[in-house]
Structure 1
Amino acid sequence: MNKLIQQTKKLFLSAQGGMFSSAMILSFMIIISRVFGFARYRILASYFSKDQLDIFFASFRIPDLVFELLITGAITSSLIPIYIRFSKDEKERANIMSSIFNIILILLIVSICVLLPLISIIVPAITPGFHGEKLRLVILFSQILLIGQLPFLVLGNFFTGMAQAKKQFLVTAIPPIVYNVSIIIATLFFASTLGLYAPIFGVIAGAGLFALIQLPAVIDELKDYRLRIISHLGVKDFFRMMGPRLLTIMVSQIDATIDLTLTTLLGSGAYTIFYFAQHLQLLPVSVIGMSFGQASLPYLSEMIESRKKEDFAHIVTESLLNVLFLTTPIAIYFIFARTPLVRMFFGGEQFDWEATVQTAFLLSYFALSIPLHSIYYLLTRCFYALLDSKTPFVASIIGVVVNTALSLVAILVLHLPVWSLGVSFSLSIGLQVGILFMLLHKKAPFNIVAFIYSFIKIILAAVISAPIPYVLIKLMDNLLLDTTRTINIFLLLVISACTYFLLYLFVSWFIGVRELYIITQLTVKAREFQKKITEMYTSYD
């Protein structure tokens, strides 16, 4: 039994051998996490009304703002490259990591102490459409999450950064799953008695487990932890890189807060509709785009450290096209299958047909951004590997200004519905990606003409493959299947998706899309992972 436990521990703490295998493992685990995440949304939509969900989701705005500034701003741009640069000297690295953690801890404590009494002032300002009991609960839940959830998430994500720097991606992919399961269990068992307090307490328990599960991956580093802050080049470089990234995150969080403010002016349930559509759009972005982005940073940093710029440019262009090949058909599918998708993921008892239609319409506009939004994360990691966090910041500023301006005009001047926010987001993310792409080409030149030609072929394959499965959905919806039942909606989606993606593969082969061979790579890597697991259990007597 001990041998089996040791083998399992070895599997989960093992470092991945390459960027593609790391991305594949992250993608697989993110899919599982997202399945539980959308199960969470569906359960919430079954137990709570749109008004109640507005309260629940709006309560995360301020805690999320602090979290994004302290953690996303630090780990994605700074921690991993610094960890890798000083990995040869363990004592020096331990001192640097301790100093960085202690500074972040101080910033966390200060942020909580400053924001806690100010929440009752900030929340009414950013949710002008909320009043009375609705406003009171948003303030209360924001305070609870700030104290109960935030410290655990900061600690857990710091652990994630160190583990991913060591290329231990599997163990860092499990905590988000546990986080979602915790919320689901709390809602199922306690919503009838505690109301909205049930998922809030589930969030806090999930955040605690999020940090606890990753302890085995960083236990060696924690042994060398010191309660002190040293003046070191690595610490200075960390905060030098972190500065522009912090500003980038701050700008994007202001943008997200403006979206919240505008949706509260559109009536009851508008923020829930926006939140659901946005998070459904983020499903393929996180599974493919974010996983490639997270997996790429350690490898790209090593290439830059080894001065392999030609390899860097080659890997980047190949990875960008692979991500586009995987996400472009998903974007098209999300557009023509939008209504059954929303019914499948969010069709709870409290989520009515009007809300479903509005969410589906908004989703189709968000879906336009999926391919470019996915490569955005890989492009930003390229700049972070080059120790340049200023360029993504400038691109982000431009994108956010455009998004905010378009959103304000759409809602306050033209009085358009909530779907207009999806249009403005898609346009702004396209602008950001275009800027990053051209500036990266200057730093690491690659063949732009060949890249665009390949992307056009991918788009053609995705569009040509769409009419048949679209007609199939129309035929199956009520004519062949009773889509008032969830199981039949699921069957409709499975049949139409399989038809569409098989057609996409055939058309890609027919017109010579070279990225088609990523499917072969996926199969090989999946077999390698399966072999590892099989060997682990067959070696156990």
Structure 2
Amino acid sequence: MTDRPGRQMGRAAALMMGSVLLSRILGYARDAVIAWQHGATTDTDAYFVAFTIPDFLNHLLAGGSLSITFIPIFARYLAEGKEEDGFRSFSTIATVMGIGMLFFIVLSEFLAGRVIPLLVPGFPPEQAALAARLTRIVIPAQIFFYIGGLLMAVQFARKQFFLPALAPLIYNAGIIAGGLLLGRDRGMEGFAWGVLAGAFLGNFALQIYGARRSGLSFFPRLDFSDPGLKEFIRLSIPIMLGFSLVVVDEWTTRVFGSFLLAGAITWLNNARRLMLVPVGIFGQASGVASYPFLSSLAAEGKKEEMWDTLSLTLRWVFLVSAGVAAIAVVLSREAVLLVYQRGAFTIDDTMRTASALSAFCLGIPFWCAQAVVSRGFFAMRDTWTPTLVGTGAWIVALPLYYLLQQSYGVFGLALASTAGILLYAGALYGILMRRTVGRRGVPGLIEFGKLALAAALAGAAGFFLLGAASRFIAWETVFGSMIRLAGGASVVGGVYFLLAFLFHSGTVRTIHRREDLLHPPGSNPAEGSGGNGVTPS
């Protein structure tokens, strides 16, 4: 009985990882279709820019953080046996915020033509006009994302993950279908219509069924005195008003990228999408799966147990993500060639995308870390700290975007992004550690340092080995890239784990002893390890 919560969290994490993996595969197929049909051009740049206003609208009403802000509220109602009160609050929030979202959608439809030139000042008028037209097509999808996010939050609060896990799969399938059916005749508009269809089917229609199956009772309700609505707004205001680096990093690279060569925004977008594959699989999925459990522990006032659970999750995520980062940095050209280079996507596009990818991938462990650590604050109903720290990190990093873009182009912009996420994740970790366990968490930093050093040395070894192998196996062909990717990943991964073991990494040595990967919350996985949760070496 004691290991039940840990096993539940493990199963939830496995399900979400599987969902993210399949979603990334479909995302690759989506981007591959775009690359095959259109390459990296002014039209593809306009398509990716078309998501800037919708993304901002989603951020403005905290739509991208619904599970973060609503789960603690609904979970408390369930814990107190006030399910009907929870449904009333859901109905109020969905009605009030849904009306607000519709208002801004209509407003954005009218203003898109004026706002887009301000967002990408480097675009010529005809390219800005195309971006505005595509924006008007995809903006209505935000109402489906918003209401669907609430519906998924209800399911997450009940620890039901399956139907929410299907949402991104159906969404990406819709974009692919739109591109294949309409892309040849309508250009990038076909993909935009696919966005709208995929959002409706996967994020809205399916989630209505899932939420009703979990017992949801909804009726339109305008009650501004509802306590759930008040708490939802209180938790959401920091996210709405703050410009955290996690949110605005992509927007910032688009703004500065608009002054570079045609295709630069597409190169950056494709590189970011590849970088986000391991971030989604290991970081985001683990954060989503662990969040209901962290929220339960925080609600019970068990801060130390919450830290132990979060720290254990983070160490395993960092172990894998650091190794993946080393592999991805060394093999960025091979990965881009295999994923994108076909049709209209040229070898020059591959080289420039790979340049950005190598810089983005340095930040993989820190993107993963912030996805887990930030949920420790959210579980304690603190949305101000992650937002303020993220905003500060973006302001500090902003000069880097300009300076590195001027000197190194797309590589510089990606490098600035990595510097910003390193600052953000590190600051968040330190603040949360101080608030929960204090100095008892310091040895965990040593563990992360061991893993980071092992990854850096493994990457350097792989770089020199692959350089020597270039005389025999060139990367410029599909066959050569496949061989180098398989062999290089095996070598870098093997060297990484060997070095981590030799550095006495407690996480790696846990694998060696075949201990359980997840301990139940409250069972104190740190017992006997000096309180840091790392298995003694």
TM-score, length of structure 1 as denominator length: 0.87
**How far off is 1:340 after superposition?**
0.5
- In the alignment, is residue 40 of structure 1 matched against residue 30 of structure 2? yes
2:226 corresponds, among 219, 228, 232, to 232
Secondary structure class of the residue paired with 1:129: coil
Counterpart secondary structure, 1:50: coil
Q: Identity, % of aligned pairs?
A: 24
Cα 1:222–1:18 change in 2 (3 A) is closer
1:150-194 alpha-carbon deviations (Å, 9 max, x no partner)? 222222222222211111122211121121122223323432222
Letter of the 2:177 counterpart: I
| Pairing 1:23–2:17 present | no
Q: How far does residue 480 in structure 1 lie from its aligned partner after superposition?
A: 3.9
Distance 1:73 1:212, change over 3 A: closer
Residues 154 and 522 of structure 1: CA distance in aligned 2, closer, same or farther (over 3 Å) = farther
Decide which moves more: 475-484 or 346-355: 475-484
Where 2:219 maps in the other structure, the secondary structure is coil
1:360-396 per-position Cα deviation (integer Å, ceiling 9, x unaligned): 1121211121111211111111001111111111101
Map 1:387-398; keep pairs closer than 5 Å.
Answer: 387-398=381-392
Measure how far apart 1:229 and its partner are.
Answer: 2.6
RMSD over aligned CA atoms reads: 2.5
Residues 1:368 and 2:359 are matched in the alignment: no
| Structure 2 CA distance for aligned equivalents of residues 316 and 518 of structure 1 | 19
**Structure 1, gaps ≥5 residues long:** 1-14, 526-541
1:490 is displaced (CA, Å) by 3.2
SS at match of 2:134: helix
Of the structure 1 ranges 332-341 and 188-197, higher mean CA displacement relative to structure 2 is found in 188-197
Give, as a single letter, the amino acid of the residue that structure 2 aligns with 1:389: T
Structure 1 distance, partners of 2:473, 2:267, is: 29
- Structure 1 pair 258–467 and aligned structure 2 pair: CA distance change class (3 A): closer
Aligned to 2:264: 270
What is residue 241 of structure 2 aligned with on the other side?
A: 247
1:346 partnered with 2:337:
no
Give the corresponding residue for 1:97: 90
Deviations 1:263-321 (A, max 9, x none): 11112111111111122221111111111111121111100112222211211222221
Tell me if 1:449 matches 2:442. yes
In structure 2, give the amino acid aligned to 1:64: D
Change (3 A) 1:415 1:512: closer
Q: Does 1:196 align with 2:188?
A: yes
- Structure 1 CA distance, aligned partners of 2:396 and 2:445? 25
CA apart distance, 1:247: 2.0
Question: Secondary structure in 2 aligned to 1:227?
Answer: coil
Aligned to 1:404: 398
Q: Provide the rounded CA distance (Å) in 1 between the counterparts of 2:245 and 2:308.
A: 32
Name which of 105, 115, 121 aligns with 1:122: 115
Larger CA deviation: 312-321 vs 458-467: 458-467
2:518 and 2:379 map into 1 onto residues whose CA distance is 28
The verdict on how the C-alpha distance between 1:359 and 1:251 changes in structure 2, with shifts beyond 3 A counting, is closer
Written as runs of structure 1 = structure 2, the 5 A alignment for 1:141-540 is: 141-147=134-140, 149-210=141-202, 211-220=204-213, 224-230=217-223, 231-249=225-243, 253-411=247-405, 414-446=406-438, 447-466=440-459, 469-471=462-464, 473-474=466-467, 479-480=472-473, 483-485=476-478, 488-516=480-508, 517=510
C-alpha displacement of 1:253: 4.7
* TM-fit CA distance, 1:356: 1.5
Structure 1: distance between partners of 2:178 and 2:488: 34
Q: After TM superposition, give the deviation of residue 483 of structure 1 in Å.
A: 4.6
SS at match of 1:18: helix
In 2, Cα distance between equivalents of 1:122 and 1:16: 48
Paired residues of 2:6 and 2:518 also in contact (CA < 8 A):
no
Contact 1:63-1:150 within 8 A present in 2 as well = yes
Q: How high is the TM-score relative to the length of structure 2?
A: 0.88
The one-letter code matched in structure 1 to 2:486 is V
